[in-house]
Amino acid sequence: MYTVPKLVDYSPATLDAAAKDLIAACEAESAAVKSDSDYKSFRDHWMARKNGILTQINDGWLKAAPKDAKRDVGARVNEIKNAVEQTVAGAEQRLAESAAKSSMTSGRVDVTLPGIRRPLGAEHPVIRTMNAMVAVFKAMGYSVGDGPEIETDYYNFESLNFPPNHPARDTQDTIFLVGQEQKPQRDRLLLRTHTSPVQIRTMEKQKPPVRIVIPGKVHRNDAADATHSPVFHQIEGLCVDTHITFCDLKGTLDHAMKSFFGSSTRTRFQPSFFPFTEPSAEMALTCFKCGGSGKLGASESCRLCKSTGWIELLGCGMVDPNVYGFVGYDPAKVSGFAFGMGVERLAMALYDIDDIQLFYHGDVRFLEQFA
């Protein structure tokens, strides 16, 4: 460690040599600084007010100098001070830089490692089925619409030709919102039991011709079991134009089923009842698992269609002229058909799923099979 020598005289040569020695020593000590504590003792050794080297040369060299040498020694001491301060600051900076560098190298990215892949999500089988069926109708020129899940009694029932207190309302176990008793019945709010109210909303907004499909969520007061869910999905369809006949209904749905399930699919229509269609029908299609035979191979019976060869899929019919009255269409000028199908039913048949609840549990082991 450097100690301040006594000056033999104050000649420029002596001062030069002493300054040179001092600065060289300071630089050597600075180069040896490796840690924070090294730095602190280095700094104190040179710059501490009490007995640091700078203080020592101030006292030992400058103050002790004879009057006529003071100017010269003072200038020299100032130069030394600056040099020492710079060297000390340099050591501090070097230390900070190397700390930053080592923290960077310890967290450095190894570009040769395989990347972190985020698992990709996949469409839920219900949504996928819904989109696939909607796409079939889009290809036939249908547009896609939607409507509110909280509906009024008017849209969900009355305008669809379910008169107040009509027993047909009982077939749809409706969930009503609380606190609606004060309102007139038609304004009372409920969770829509089907997507059919969007037929009315569409026709109110749009003059014929109308060709639209409406996928959406519906709600019924049904206990959850293997084939029922209080919340499920439907796709509604509506086509209104001049000269639309039951043949158009059959042709459209037959074509849709063939393009969805395969060209060997056949359809069957049986009479049914819905308040908003007349005549009404249930459409079934030949079972796409057994091809309509009810049998798998020679003897095994087909579970999917319960050996009947047919799968009942949707309700449909010609729009009841009364419905046109609610939306300001002229039943003498226009005619049309409508249909509604359950998406879960469709997906269950398609993927051979025997419990509707599997769709809602969010179990990845089930869902990833559709990814």
The residue count of the chain comes to 371
Residue 161 contacts ligand DAH per CB under 6 A: no
Q: Candidates 197, 309, 315, 336: give the one binding ligand DAH (CB under 6 A).
A: 315
For 59, which DSSP code?
I
Q: In this chain, which stretch among 200-208, 223-231, 244-252, 311-319 interacts with ligand DAH, using CB under 6 A?
A: 311-319
Closer residue to ligand DAH in complex, CB, 279/294: 279
Q: What is the rounded (10 degree) CA torsion for 176, 181, 184, 186?
A: 10
Calpha distance 160→171 (Å, rounded)? 14
Instruction: Kindly identify the residues of this chain, within the stretch 317-346, that bind ligand DAH according to CB under 6 A.
Output: 317, 338-340
Binding mask 37-76 for ligand DAH (x = CB under 6 A): ----------------------------------------
Please give the radius of gyration of the chain, using alpha carbons only, rounded to the nearest integer.
Answer: 45
Residues in binding contact with ligand DAH, number by CB under 6 A: 11
Calpha distance 17→13 (Å, rounded)? 6
Query: CB within 8 A of 23, min separation 6: which ones?
Result: 80, 83, 84, 87
Six-digit token pair at 331? 């039943």
Closer residue to ligand DAH in complex, CB, 188/194: 194
Q: How far is the CB of 220 from ligand DAH (least distance, A)?
A: 9
Residue 274 contacts ligand DAH per CB under 6 A: yes
Contact between residue 246 and residue 337 where contact means Cβ atoms under 8 Å apart: yes
Residue 236 contacts ligand DAH per CB under 6 A: yes
Calpha distance 321→334 (Å, rounded)? 9
Binding mask 188-207 for ligand DAH (x = CB under 6 A): ------x-x-----------
Chain position whose Cβ is nearest to ligand DAH: 340
Pairing of strands 210-219, 143-144: parallel
Interacting residues toward ligand DAH by CB under 6 A: 194, 196, 236, 274, 277, 315-317, 338-340
